[in-house]
Each structure stands twice: as C-alpha cells, then as structure tokens.
Amino acid sequence: MHKKTWIKVNVQVDEGIKELVEALSAFPKLQTIESCQGSQNTPAWVCFYYGNSISELSDFVLRYLGKELAEKLGDRVSLSIQIKSSGLPQGELQVRHEAIRICTKVLKQLAS
C-alpha cells in the first residue's frame, strides 16, 4: 500500500452550504463525503471522515467540535457518529437553516 497525503480538491456542493463545507475542510484531517443544504424545514447536513481511526473521529466530534458548537449554537446544530455498511466510521453535522452562517463562522474560528 502506498503512503497517502491530504490535498484539497474541487467538488460541487449545494450553493447554500458552500462556505460551511469550506470551513469544515479547513480542518487538516477532515474529509467531507457528501452534503445537502436542506430547506427552511429540514437541516443542512455534511457527512465526513476524520483522521485514521474511530478514536480520532470520536475525539474530534465528541470532545472538541461538539463541545464548542453546543456552547455557541445550542440545539441549532447536532453531531453524530455512524458506522456505515462499509465498516467505516463517519461523522455527520446537521445545522438548522437559520444557523448555517453562524456555524460557518464558528468553524472558521476553530480551524484557525
């Protein structure tokens, strides 16, 4: 197996969450997988991998990102970890439509 390295690639995303996906992508070990901007009645969501293990993902989601987002956005965001049928663990961020902009701002601050 060859050694892997991280790069940023161009990919199409829903216009309403472009900046949110970019803010998440600023975390060096985070790889977005899929996303949707939702609507006025459904939250936006972004699925992602983080690091190389479920331990890294859970530390990032539960101990770092979840704590920070909960303090600043309360129930306007939610984070979860899922084990998909492939066996790979992934995180999912859901953001209420009205909180996308502030969530993006918080993520940019955390990533810098």
State yes or no: pLDDT of 8 exceeds 80: no
Mean pLDDT (whole number) for 104-110:
95
How many C-beta atoms lie closer than 10 Å to residue 16's C-beta?
15
Is residue 51 a part of any domain in this protein?
yes
Is residue 71 a part of any domain in this protein?
yes
CATH number of domain containing 89? 3.30.70
Backbone angles phi, psi at 4, to 5 degrees: -105, 155
pTM, 2 dp: 0.89
Calpha distance 62→57 (Å, rounded): 8
- Greater confidence, 87 or 82? 82
| Residues 5, 54 contacting (CB under 8 angstroms) | no
The domain tally of the chain equals 1
Calpha distance 72→75 (Å, rounded): 10
Indicate the residue type of 32: T
Is residue 42 a part of any domain in this protein?
yes
User: Could you list the residue range(s) of the whole structural domain that residue 65 is in?
Assistant: 15-111
Backbone angles phi, psi at 10, to 5 degrees: -85, 135
DSSP letter for 52, please: T
State yes or no: pLDDT of 85 exceeds 90: no
Is residue 54 a part of any domain in this protein?
yes
Is residue 103 a part of any domain in this protein?
yes
Is residue 62 a part of any domain in this protein?
yes
